[in-house]
Structure 1
Amino acid sequence: MKRNKIALAGVGLLAAGALALAGCSSKTGGDTTPTKGGDSKAIIKVSGNEPENPLIPTNTNEVGGGKILDSIFAGLAYYDAKGKLVNDMAESIKVDDPSDLTIKLKEGNTFSNGEKVTADSFINAWQYGALFSNKQLNQSWFSDIEGFSDSADSPLTGLKKTDDYTFSIKLSNPVAADFSQRLGYSAYYPLPEAGLKDMATFGENPIGNGPYKLAKTGAWQHKIQLDLVKNDTYKGGRQAKNGGLTFVFYASADAEYADLQSNKVDVIDQIPSSAQQTFESDLGDRAVNQPAAIFQSFSIPGNLEHFTGDEGKLRREAISMAIDRAAITKTIFNNTRTPASDFTSPVIAGWSDSLKGADVLKFDAKKAKELWAEADKISPWSGKFQIAYNSDSAHQAWVDAVSNQLKNNLGIDASGNPYVDFASLRKDVNARSIKTAFRTGWQADYPAQYNFLQPLYSTKASSNDTDYSNPDFDKLVAKGASESDQSAATKDYQQAQELLLKDLPAIPLWYSNVNGGFAKGVNNVQFGWNSVPLYYEITKG
């Protein structure tokens, strides 16, 4: 979901050795949402991915775990279908000045174990997530709070409790306006005392305060499914209209689509390559194909042989220009993807298709070959170029297509490098032990340009998978976050992206629509701005 490394996939069909230039156009957008009611006690079965880590908000930054956490927990606020921030546990979120916020909580909210949700529930959870020795994947989400350190244990001195239901946030940078918009993200969820006392046990059986709770101890059957039931103590705006959710962890997109067609699963949020050309006609009004805040790319570790210094810069440019994105999005994705022109998404304010330096994203086989030859003058190419991807989602088709284009346009040995599942791929990426390029992508955490830039490319950021660092980029992104005027912020972010176009820490590929579907008898299915179904709205029967 809003997660740093998305596990969901693009899909398509690849003819052997070349792109099959076929394809009929697909509808995009449109309201396919039924409005019929249903059994309020019905359990809704939805497709999912085995979470990468135990279910701890400050240590979950991928889609599979994110969708579950967002169902179990409630933060200060949440994002509605269109990306609007709506108060949840917060009575008010007040920006006092560019560096200060005051949070007033609603009284009477509890975790599913009966413990009250208070200012301490947030302050203690954030302190845990920010502490260096806890090594949480989402640690950098607290970096703007006064007292934060990414190199030593240091408390967040900027968090001050006023009373049981009020606390203030002092920022070390004047980014309060943007910071207030981040507070719907899962890193900022509260934690009960039980979680903080025994985080290992808690991660397997989390106790939340959201619209759902675990059905029982041991409800998470690893690599099989996870069962949630409605949490009757939740008083917020995401009231569940069903009895619960079962997240089914599928090994392949084909398996979940087959289950959808036989009504064994109720809602899926990806379509396999075998059905990309036909799923809309197969499912009719039960098909979903709409724009979403999803950006797809692949990244090349900065320490790989041939990818450092001037040689690396030339090779990255050559690789980018050797890819015919338009052909792939038409043939592989049946026009459900759009070639990227920046590092954000067309559904986000400030997106641009005319950045300086964006020519590097346009297909030019001749120029690509020239750039590759210039790099060879520095150090002759040796070995092969591979793109790692997870086989449990439908990535093979586009990886094979890109590899074939690199092979044909640069004259190199290029291929995919499949991992058995998303968790295995992420393990090597997180450990910095991966020795090839690897697929990356971003499903926005909150609807702002800053969210597409800072977490992925700022120095030491939580999802900076290649350890990219450019001080000028860091300054521009920080400046954009401090601007009170949106147009000024947009200018800063676009200038920051122009630096990314020179350095190419990731190779932008395309923006994704969310493709999915729902079974017969399932009603009120709505996919949000970030491509995730609003599970609490779904009914059946």
Structure 2
Amino acid sequence: MNRLILSRRAFGAGVISTAALAALAACSSDTTSKGGDGIVTAYDTEPQNPLIPTNTNEVGGGRIIDLIFAGLYSYDAHGALVNEVAKDVTTQDSQTFTVTLNEGWTFSDGTPVTSDSFIKAWNYGALKSHAHLSSAFFEPIEGFSYDTDSELTGLKKVSDTEFTITLKAPQSDFLLSLGYSAFYPLPESAYADMEAFGQKPVGNGPYSLSSWTHNERCELVPNEKYSGPRKAANKGVSFVFYTTYESGYADLQSDSLDVIDAIPDSALATFKDDLGDRAINQPGAVIQCFTIDVGSEHFKMDEEGRLRRKALSLAIDRKKICDTLYYSTRTPASDFTSPVISGWSDKVPGNEVLTFDATAAKEAWAQAEAISPFTGSFSIAYNADGPHKTWVDAVCNSIKTVLGIEAAGNPYPTFKELRADVTAHTLTSGFRAGWQGDYPSMGNFLNMVYRTGAGSNDAQYSNPEFDALLDQAAQTADQTQATTLYQKAQTLLFADLPAIPLWYQNGFGGHSTKVSNVEFGWNSAPLYHAVTKD
């Protein structure tokens, strides 16, 4: 669906390129040999981009960089901050932060991790000309600009182990965001050739990259220089890139794959019986939606567009789809965030547009037709290398039945090809989207996807009133008040529906008989470093 499904990311499924099926066969045949001697084999997808933290906002690459790099903080299984490179981060006003680093940290090449390692990396990732996908994470810092290349003047070096961060305004959840990958440091060697660095990055996390065979696998080995809390409990992690969840699950059942964090639709009814106590199914910080670019004809930010998006939403029987297709691994959405996030509520005003109502759907569509007749068919684009065809067909059939229009899925061979058209804004109908939390905050789900100009705002949605409410929520230190403001902001989203929430997705998957201590974190990501293998 890591960041977009962002992490967290663009949450995809399947390999990112058109690798021959022979490569997949090779994956199945050699996972056992690659996974011997205590090396854990894990399901993954080919990363969309070179492995540069500020330009990785999808799950395939996110799984890898989160093990190669360490930031000021990491998150434990429940989403709580855990100190890594940071010895302490203090603030009196949630606007100016003083960062003190633990001494002795080095990158895997032996060079020191200093204040400059963070300051220079953040400035590089924030530059408009670099167009990095996670640049919006630096927007709160003084000096950031969406319009021109500019220095983050809010970053000031005090010493090699101390620097300060000054924000444009107070932000109550900024500290919580500092465990996300956009805030990882980079070694000085990265800047000689960033593209080449991304092919074999040098990090400071619990693992180092040993090799990356594109469209096949990525090998990580423990970083002996790592001194943080995520010390590797195994001899390495071998990420295998699959073209389908079915192939990955088949390898898991044969003990050729050790960890998978997705189950194919065909196995949802049986995977808990198949795997027994090796099956995992728990609430996660993931929401599935479909989005429509608000620049598209008939779906603009005008009366017709709002009516049509409302009609589409009301025409979808979410509960029926979750009950009949997903066997307790999905829950119908009632907001734009996630039930595992503090402040979540299923009673946000306006969320009745997420409840199936055929009569109201027909009425809204008829009102839109009176403004401008709709011709052609409605489609939802999706990547066919992931488990999306079943739900896309179900949603389209529901829309077709209720509204009496042609509706069908628009399959793309790979996630990478779909994302290329999404980011180029060439799609004029629906396309699958979603979000996996980067850090455990309502602000993360709303700011990164719906704020004007945000890196993951694929709908190109812009509402100044919504943006202002997000600013107010971020600037209050009172979490109860912040929650109220975030919920008020969501009422605007329910009126505009730049994306149509469908359901929350559990974190579910399983592991082989060869590994132990397999746990999924708050964001449904396996804690790979803790997995043990004899």
Q: Same fold (TM over 0.5)?
A: yes
Q: Would you say 1:190 and 2:216 are equivalent positions? A: no
Q: 1:425 and 2:430 equivalent?
A: no
- Which residue pairs with 1:335 in the alignment? 328
| Other structure's SS at 1:342 match | coil
| 1:298 match: secondary structure | strand
Residue of 43, 50, 57 corresponding to 1:47: 43
Corresponding residue number in structure 1 for 2:207: 212
Which among 92, 100, 115 is matched to residue 111 of structure 2? 115
User: 1:303 is aligned with what amino acid?
Assistant: G
1:230-249 equivalent positions in 2, closer than 5 A: 230-249=222-241
Encode CA deviations 1:361-418: one digit per residue, 9 max, x unaligned. 1000011011101100001110110001111110110000001001100001100011
The match for 1:4 among 5, 9, 13 is 9
Q: CA deviation at 1:299?
A: 0.1
Residue 445 of structure 2 corresponds to: 452
Matched, 1:159 2:155: yes
Once the two structures are superposed, residues 196-216 of structure 1 have per-residue CA deviations (whole angstroms, 9 ceiling, x without a partner) of 22101001111000000011x
- Answer yes or no: is 1:537 the counterpart of 2:533: no
Aligned twin of 1:361: 354
SS at match of 1:97: coil
2:31 paired residue number: none
Question: CA, structure 1 residues 508+359, in 2 after alignment: closer, same or farther (shift >3 Å)?
Answer: same
1:203-352 paired onto structure 2 within 5 Å: 203-215=198-210, 219-308=211-300, 309-352=302-345
Please tell me whether the aligned partners of residues 528 and 534 of structure 1 are also in contact (alpha carbons under 8 angstroms).
yes
TM superposition shift of 1:222: 1.1
The letter of the residue matching 1:77 is Y
> What's the RMSD between the two structures over aligned residues?
1.2
**CA shift at 1:240, angstroms?**
0.3
- The runs of at least 4 aligned residues of structure 1 exceeding 6 Å deviation read none
SS of corresponding position for 1:352? coil
Q: Distance in 2 between matches of 1:99 and 1:228?
A: 38
**Residue 447 of structure 1 aligns to a residue in which SS?**
coil
Report the AA paired with residue 183 of structure 1: L
SS state at 1:292 partner: coil
Trace 1:6-85 onto structure 2 (pairs within 5 A).
Answer: 6-8=11-13, 42-85=38-81
- What is the CA–CA distance in structure 1 between the aligned matches of 2:338 and 2:457, rounded to whole Å? 18
Asked if the contact 2:292/2:428 (under 8 Å) is kept, the reply is no
**SS of alignment partner, residue 277 of structure 1:** coil
Q: Given residue 306 of structure 1, which amino acid in structure 2 is its aligned partner?
A: H
What's the offset of the Cα at 1:41?
Answer: 5.3
Deviation at 1:431, TM superposition (A): 1.3
Decide whether aligned partners of structure 1 residues 41 and 116 sit closer, same or farther in structure 2, where only a CA change above 3 A counts.
Answer: farther
AA aligned to 2:11 is I
Please report how far the alpha carbon of residue 40 of structure 1 lies from its aligned counterpart in structure 2 after TM superposition.
11
Offset from partner CA, 1:464-507 (integer Å, 9 cap, x none)? 01110000100101111111111000000000000000000100
Which residue of structure 2 aligns with residue 415 of structure 1?
Answer: 408
The TM-score with structure 2 as length reference comes to: 0.94
TM-score by length of 1: 0.93
Checking the alignment, whether the CA contact within 8 Å between 2:13 and 2:245 is kept in structure 1 is no
**1-structure distance, mates of 2:81, 2:232:** 19
Aligned partners of 2:343 and 2:442 also within 8 Å: yes
Match of 2:502 in 1: 509
Partner Cα distance (1:69, 1:209) in 2: 10
- Aligned equivalents of 1:355 and 1:138: distance in 2? 29
Q: Distance in 2 between matches of 1:396 and 1:44?
A: 30
Return closer, same or farther for 1:512/1:8 CA change in 2, 3 Å cut-off: farther
Counterpart-to-counterpart distance in 2, 1:405 and 1:261: 34
Q: Distance in 2 between matches of 1:535 and 1:4?
A: 18
